[in-house]
Amino acid sequence: MTKIFVLQVSGDPDMFVSTTVSRPTAKNSTWSSVLYGPDVIDIDPKTDVDACVHCTYFITVLGSRGAMYTITVALESTLPKLADGQPVEDHVAFLGWNSYVFADSFGSSRDIKIVLTSTRGDAVRPIELPLHQNY
């Protein structure tokens, strides 16, 4: 998922996004956000037929009366990311489940050990063994 944020510092900036037009406007953009205050556009290639992967997103920020803003673009997984060595505290409802993603940047040069520690309740451990083994 691609998430584009425009946070106004002053004024009221609006945002227009396209993958085909290098300077998108209100008339030719594929996605737009023209709300007063922060603008957010979520583009999910699984649900949005106009979304693409391995492409360029062109973004125009328009300030009709002048505006100061910050813009952030983030590629996000729909699953929360886990960081190496950083514990995450979370909650799962009765008979519910949570999913996470971890990117192994070391490849087969290191073992991966997944540890689940229950702080309350009963946790089921679906993965207990290292995924890679170095000998």
Domain limits, the chain = 2-75, 78-135
How far is Cα 107 from Cα 75, in angstroms, rounded to an integer? 22
Name, in order, each residue with C-beta under 8 angstroms of 114's C-beta and a sequence gap of 6 or more.
127, 128, 131
pLDDT tens, residue by residue, 9-47: 888 899 999 999 999 999 999 999 998 888 889 898 889
**Residue type at position 19:** T
DSSP 8-state code for residue 108: G
pTM of the prediction? 0.57
Residue 135: per-residue pLDDT: 37
